[in-house]
Amino acid sequence: MKIRAEGVAEVTDADFTAEVLGAEPPVLVEFTADWCGPCRQLAPVVSAVAKETAGRLKVVQIDADTNPDTVSRYGVLSMPTLMVFRQGEPVKSMVGARPKRRLLVELSDVLEPVGA
């Protein structure tokens, strides 16, 4: 079963540079895998965060199993891993599922100000 967070784009090794590293707002990348139970728990949280932070944070997913180059480039060892990129550089990394409120608190320092 393919895990997809609703309203969240999927990126691949091929378009990671353009979609994530070249993006203007900060980007939250969820490294996920179909076999990962906590990833399934996190999918609705990631969807809700994407909706709530629209325009201030770009949210994407990448399948760890089918995109090994990106996974190894950033040293991702556990699923789910959430990584925030700003201006092409990883600035924050979090491992494991978490509730939406906690994730929003953890992201507060990287979110673009409203109306920026």
Higher pLDDT, 111 or 79: 79
How far CA 56 is from CA of 25, 81, 109, in Å, comes to: 6, 20, 12
Q: Is the pLDDT of residue 116 over 70?
A: no
44, two tokens: 């609705």
CATH number of the domain enclosing 99:
3.40.30.10
Nearest to 38 by CA among 80, 76, 71: 80
Residue 60 lies in a domain: yes
Q: Residue 92: what pLDDT?
A: 96
Q: Is the pLDDT of residue 1 over 70?
A: no
pTM, rounded to two decimals: 0.94
Predicted local distance difference test score (pLDDT) of residue 6: 83
* Both tokens assigned to 45: 């949280």
* Whether the predicted pLDDT of 115 surpasses 70: no
Q: What residues contact residue 3 under an 8 Å CB cut-off, 6+ apart?
A: 32, 33, 34, 36, 39, 40, 43, 61
Share of the chain above pLDDT 90, in %: 88
Q: Please check whether residue 21 lies inside any domain of the structure.
A: yes
Handedness of CA 42, 45, 51, 57 (dihedral sign): negative
| 27 pLDDT more than 80 | yes
Query: What is the number of structural domains in the chain?
Result: 1
Range of the structural domain that residue 18 is part of = 9-107
Task: Give residue-wise pLDDT tens across range 52-77.
Answer: 999 999 999 999 999 999 999 999 99
Catalytic residues: 36, 39
